[in-house]
């Protein structure tokens, strides 16, 4: 169990351009973080509390921490080797019983690298080999010795599903279903039918137990509960909205099919991931309230990515859908702010204009909503968690660097100080901000 750390001292950031992701940009402005929460934010100066660390950010920019909805850090840790491949339980097309949290390695060096580039929260997902891959974990990128200590307080779990090429390739090569997109959808429907019947059994049991308790009779035996199934527990919790559903889907027709399956069984999809053809059904996504977690310009690396276009995000935003920049990479996670800038530039080619505040929401507020934590983080508002980044320049500039990163008001990264190595790296090398290693002499 992690030892509780003493509360970090207050931090007052002043004289910066404060981009709140709420519609307001203060130039100059201030942000005060105290007791792990944002205590003040606004235009002009603000008196520093006693004992506060004062950061004069003249010429710099302040934003909420960046949030990545799609990460495999910890479950596909670096250095990349078979011993660290813990993201796909590819032994059955449906494994809703597994949890990503149980495979996260907190010593993954990629975690600290991501934090040093302004990322404060990520959703760690199982991989996409399976139709139903398991539960996700929403974590804060703070040093810890176990994944449970990294949990984002109060964040609901997610459920990872995948349609299209990956499941049919993985299991088709094993000579078993699914081998086709028909098999994909049949597998989903069978799983949700089983979950529906399982839920009904528990509903009957709960009804009978309530009746038994009302009678308060010693002459009758209490009803026997159904046999518990951990996988069906996950599926019924998702269908009841207690677990948020995230679906790996590239093609528009696959997304349409998944929306139809969701309608058939009465559940909601929180976000389509990758979704390079989401622009083809942008209005349906806006109407159904399904967000899209995608890249700026990934295209053509497999057939279902063939119709990806760099204007995807801008077209979604123009249709009043909810676009999100995600990484799916322990390298790309460091540049989500620049990915947002690229998506904006592509939109401008079509005459679609977006403000800094709107673009910022693609990496802060929108992903916070997709993860069910928008009331806790994603914008600079009084009472929200003190997840704050100070940038050397406008965060949508290629030259911007994270100068200071706070998570819950604690300094996780300070550009003026050496980056703390993980336990895995300790004593083996020194590591600079870029992740490059340089051998050092160790004197005992």
Q: Can you give the length of the chain in residues?
A: 444
Judged against a pLDDT cut of 70, whether residue 429 lies above it is answered with no
Indicate the pTM of the whole model: 0.94
Q: Rounded to an integer, what distance in angstroms lies between the CA atom of residue 14 and that of residue 78?
A: 37
- From residue 115, alpha-carbon distances to 155, 161, 259 in Å are 19, 27, 34
Decide which of 3.40.50.1360, 3.30.565.10, 2.30.40.10, 1.10.3720.10 is the CATH code for 1-64+378-444.
2.30.40.10
pLDDT band at 140 (very low <50, low <70, confident <90, very high): very high
Judged against a pLDDT cut of 70, whether residue 288 lies above it is answered with yes
Judged against a pLDDT cut of 50, whether residue 443 lies above it is answered with no
Domain boundaries, the chain: 1-64+378-444, 66-376
The three-point CA angle 33-334-396 to 5° equals 75
Peptide bond into 178 cis (omega under 30): yes
What residues contact residue 242 under an 8 Å CB cut-off, 6+ apart? 156
Cα of 282 vs its chain's centroid, Å: 21
CATH class of the region 66-376: alpha beta
Nearest to 162 by CA among 244, 301, 71, 273: 273
Q: Rounded to an integer, what distance in angstroms lies between the CA atom of residue 189 and that of residue 6?
A: 50
Question: pLDDT at position 417, please?
Answer: 86
- β 402-407/119-124 pair status: unpaired
Q: Rounded to an integer, what distance in angstroms lies between the CA atom of residue 206 and that of residue 196?
A: 15
Matching residue, tokens 């994909």: 184
Judged against a pLDDT cut of 70, whether residue 39 lies above it is answered with yes
pLDDT tens, position by position, 382-398: 999 999 999 999 999 99
What residues contact residue 300 under an 8 Å CB cut-off, 6+ apart? 306, 308
Share of residues in the chain with pLDDT > 90 (%): 88
pLDDT band at 286 (very low <50, low <70, confident <90, very high): very high
């Amino acid at each position: 169990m992690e030892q509780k750390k003493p509360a970090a001292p207050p931090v007052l950031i002043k004289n910066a351009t404060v981009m709140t992701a709420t519609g307001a940009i203060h130039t100059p402005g201030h942000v005060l973080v105290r007791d792990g929460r944002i205590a003040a934010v606004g235009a002009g100066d603000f008196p520093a509390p006693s004992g506060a660390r004062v950061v004069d950010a003249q010429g710099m920019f302040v934003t909420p921490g960046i949030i990545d909805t799609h990460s495999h850090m910890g479950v596909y840790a670096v250095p990349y080797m078979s011993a660290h491949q813990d993201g796909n339980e590819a032994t059955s097309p449906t494994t809703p019983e597994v949890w990503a949290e149980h495979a996260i390695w907190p010593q993954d060096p990629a975690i600290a690298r991501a934090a040093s580039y302004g990322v404060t929260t990520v959703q760690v997902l199982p991989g996409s080999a399976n139709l139903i891959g398991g539960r996700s974990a929403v974590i804060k990128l703070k040093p810890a010795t176990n994944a449970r200590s990294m949990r984002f307080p109060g964040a609901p779990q997610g459920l990872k599903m995948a349609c299209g090429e990956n499941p049919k390739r993985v299991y088709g090569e094993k000579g078993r279903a699914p081998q086709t997109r028909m098999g994909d959808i049949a597998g989903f429907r069978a799983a949700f039918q089983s979950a529906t019947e399982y839920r009904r059994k528990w509903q009957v049991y709960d009804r009978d137990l309530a009746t038994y308790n009302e009678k308060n009779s010693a002459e009758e035996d209490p009803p026997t509960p159904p046999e518990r199934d951990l996988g069906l527990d996950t599926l019924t919790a998702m269908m009841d909205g207690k677990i948020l559903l995230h679906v790996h889907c590239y093609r528009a027709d696959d997304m349409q099919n998944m929306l139809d399956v969701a309608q058939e069984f009465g559940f909601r999809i929180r976000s389509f991931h990758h979704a390079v053809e989401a622009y083809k059904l942008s209005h349906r996504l806006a109407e159904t309230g399904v967000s899209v977690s995608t890249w700026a310009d990934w295209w053509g690396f497999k057939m279902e990515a063939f119709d990806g276009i760099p204007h995807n995000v801008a077209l979604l935003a123009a249709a009043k859908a909810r676009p999100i920049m995600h990484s799916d990479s322990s390298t790309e996670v460091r540049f989500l702010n620049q990915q947002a800038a690229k998506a904006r530039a592509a939109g401008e080619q079509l005459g679609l204009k977006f403000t800094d505040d709107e673009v910022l929401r693609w990496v802060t507020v929108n992903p916070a909503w997709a993860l069910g934590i928008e009331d806790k983080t994603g914008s600079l508002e009084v009472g929200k968690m003190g997840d704050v980044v100070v940038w050397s320049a406008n965060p949508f500039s290629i030259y911007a660097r994270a100068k200071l990163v706070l998570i819950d008001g604690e300094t996780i990264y300070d550009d003026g100080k050496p980056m703390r190595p993980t336990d895995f790296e300790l004593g083996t090398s020194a590591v600079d901000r870029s992740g490059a290693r340089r051998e050092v002499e160790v004197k005992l």
